[in-house]
Amino acid sequence: MVSEHELNERKLTILHAIIKTYLETGEPVGSRTISKYTDLNLSSATIRNEMSDLEELGYIVQPHTSAGRIPSDKGYRLYVDMLMEEKEQELNEREDQMLEKADKMEKLLKQAARVLATNTNYATMVSTPVNSANKLKFIQLSMVDEEQIIAVIVLGGNVIKNRIINVEEPLSNENLLKLNMLLNTTLNGMSIEEINLGLIARLKEQAGIHSEVIGNVLDAVADVIQLDEDMQIYTSGTTNIFKYPELSDKQSAQEIISAFEEKQQLTELVAQTLSKEENTGIQVYIGDETPVQNMKDCSVVTATYELGDGMKGTIGIIGPKRMDYEHVLKSMKRLQSELDQMFHKKE
Amino acid sequence: MVSEHELNERKLTILHAIIKTYLETGEPVGSRTISKYTDLNLSSATIRNEMSDLEELGYIVQPHTSAGRIPSDKGYRLYVDMLMEEKEQELNEREDQMLEKADKMEKLLKQAARVLATNTNYATMVSTPVNSANKLKFIQLSMVDEEQIIAVIVLGGNVIKNRIINVEEPLSNENLLKLNMLLNTTLNGMSIEEINLGLIARLKEQAGIHSEVIGNVLDAVADVIQLDEDMQIYTSGTTNIFKYPELSDKQSAQEIISAFEEKQQLTELVAQTLSKEENTGIQVYIGDETPVQNMKDCSVVTATYELGDGMKGTIGIIGPKRMDYEHVLKSMKRLQSELDQMFHKKE
DNA sequence: TGTTAGCACTCAAAATTAAAGAGTGCTAAC
DNA sequence: GTTAGCACTCTTTAATTTTGAGTGCTAACA
């Protein structure tokens, strides 16, 4: 049986040493290694006793008798929550790549994913920002040809969408102007919830014979707000998983790679991430904790970035459970702030 | 030494049998197998002699002494060009999935990739259509707020793009209207090549104090035309490659998968495909013939589909060299016609 | 009571060896 | 020109052995 307080100072030190060593080597670590590695000046035999206790407590496990120990999910969790020192050290030292300016946000985000993958050697994903609680900023209808109107819809954060609307007969320029006036004076600055049935009825009434067009436009607006509708997810460095034998067997590799290709599951991850409101904005999922079933043998670190106007996006790093959490968290924070800077410099 | 005409009837039959058997089994095929498989009624010894000739001619190779033979790239090429019977048989028999209608082209194409991957068990890609030789159809400038104009640019085929343009001071509605008039009367129906420096100078002159805006707009137009600019490539079934041992080793898998993730290389493939004008529209690249270096151990089959207005897209199937060419070509043709139908029903 | 040396034991991984089998090339006979 | 027969090659698979890291336990020690 093990003492009341579960973990005394010494056990913590040993656990810490085990995990750190394992993170570095990826090999089960044995008592002798720890005996030398720490400055506790204990013999391997003593360490063995402590390790036996730690195993009983569920922090480490043995892949098989006569192998060293590796951290369990519970062990990793403790490490991430308590043991790990977050090095706030100079970032400049490492020769990590930096984000470069890019004209289009799309390009910038793709680049962000790539840079992050290069710097960490894990697989990464970046979602385009998504308009949670968005407002309508501006609508413009224009005749493209005899039978088609294009509706340009600008949302808060200057997100621009467009839809083609078919009409039976051409509208006169004058009428088009009126409709534009009507739509903009009524709807500008409104959030989706505010555009209710009563308002719609009133609008249609005022539009007279063109009420059908208004209907179509409002449909388009509703359509455009749908979150997922056009959220894009960029991935990079998927093949980094082959650097980690524990994820390289066909089974695992296949699962992870499909999750990355069929973005469906990543969407789920983004939704989860955005819904949780942590103060730091960074979350760590270890093993089974992950919202993405296909990644149950991985650790997943996510963060959100903001654009203002309620626009939020997600960054994710996916790697083996024995990922270098310190480095990953550091890179994550850094990218977060770089993105912030980019987006706020821009406006 | 081998006879003048390289391949007589019997050699062709044997080669055909070898390749067909290899496509099915994936194992090197030996003389005895062929002796039984064909109705030539020849002993294995005779077959061996013929095989020896075929090897000397470069159509088959031996992985090592005392193994059967497998087709060389040259062998595959002959097979695809001459030996293969294209079964024009009923398509309905197979329980292949069909394409379902989808509201957005984007969704349709994603689905197309997925269906194709499911039906063939290979990796697939589908590019969004790209405007080769495109014409400007319509431009609309609108003030979004005090300092920003949005330029909506409609191209032939109703491809809609937009760009935000910053201005120092707001334009009056009247001026905006004038600019719109000016742009549309001058530019509508023009292809990119027609918008030359002289024209630009003339435009700017007419725009007077707002010539700067015109400049920005034209930049935007030029930008928008850039082919690659926003061509999307959807992939599916990447992990199918794990079904084929010859592509499953880390090295190969990694190469293929990165090519699929970093779409850059696929873009190259699309460009190649679109540039070649085959009558059938279907191309087969075997091994080294492929434009994508990372796929040199694969066979790549590509096809184009059309939307009219010069919009063309590409479909691709990537698999092992010993892919089931008959089935692949059949599926390809079918998808091609399904897409055609979809797009023409739509209009 | 906590620590340690010592030793028998376990087990995975690597290396070695052996056996099986598929297939060829060549020769000689039909 | 075709074929039976046989020696030879080389991969694949399985079986066996060796090695070495690491453990758990016991007994002695401070």
Query: For chain B, how far is it from start to end, CA to CA, in angstroms?
Result: 62
| pLDDT of residue A155 exceeding 90 | no
Give Cβ neighbours of residue B229 (< 8 Å, ≥ 6 apart): B223
Task: Tell me the mean pLDDT in the region A319-329.
Answer: 96
User: Percentage of residues in chain A with pLDDT exceeding 90?
Assistant: 46
pLDDT tens figures, A222-234: 777 655 566 889 9
Query: According to the model, what pLDDT value does residue B87 have?
Result: 65
Q: Name the residue of chain A whose CA is nearest to B161's CA.
A: A162
Give me A304's structure tokens.
């959100």
Contact A261 B262 (CB under 8 A): no
**Residues (61-90, chain A) with CB within 7 Å of strand D atoms:** 62, 65-69
pLDDT tens figures, B328-342: 999 999 999 888 888
CATH number of A105-131+229-346: 3.30.450.40
Q: How many residues does chain A have?
A: 347
B interface test, pick of A160, A173, A184 with most B CB neighbours within 10 Å? A160
Residue-range domain boundaries for chain A: 9-83, 105-131+229-346, 136-226
| pLDDT of residue A13 exceeding 90 | yes
* CA A300 to chain CA centroid, nearest Å: 9
Amino acid at residue number B267: T
Identify the band that residue A342 occupies on the pLDDT scale cut at 50, 70 and 90.
confident
pLDDT tens figures, A266-310: 998 998 888 776 656 899 999 999 999 999 999 999 999 988 767
Bin A81: left if φ > 0, else alpha if -120 < ψ < 50, else beta. Answer: alpha
pLDDT tens figures, B110-151: 999 999 999 999 999 999 987 665 678 888 888 888 888 888
- Of A114 and A202, which is predicted with more confidence? A114
Question: Does residue A320 lie within 7 Å of nucleic acid chain D, judged by its CB?
Answer: no
Query: According to the model, what pLDDT value does residue B167 have?
Result: 86
| pLDDT of residue A4 exceeding 80 | no
| pLDDT of residue B92 exceeding 70 | no
CATH number of A136-226: 3.30.390
All residues of chain A having their beta carbon less than 8 Å from the beta carbon of residue B224 are none
For all residues of chain A together, what is the average pLDDT?
86
Pick among 1.10.8.60, 3.40.50.720, 1.10.10.10, 3.90.230.10: CATH of A9-83: 1.10.10.10
Does the fold of domain B136-226 match that of domain B9-83? no
What is residue A62's DSSP assignment? -
Give Cβ neighbours of residue B257 (< 8 Å, ≥ 6 apart): A238, A239, A257, B238, B241
Residue nearest to nucleotide C2 (CA to C1'): A46
Question: Which of A240, A299, A286 lies closest to A118 in space, CA to CA?
Answer: A240
The lowest-confidence range among B34-48, B55-69, B140-154 is: B140-154
Domain B105-131+232-346 has CATH 3.30.450.40: yes
Query: According to the model, what pLDDT value does residue A1 have?
Result: 46
| pLDDT of residue B18 exceeding 50 | yes
* CA B78 to chain CA centroid, nearest Å: 22
Alpha-carbon distance B110 to nearest alpha carbon in chain A (angstroms): 10
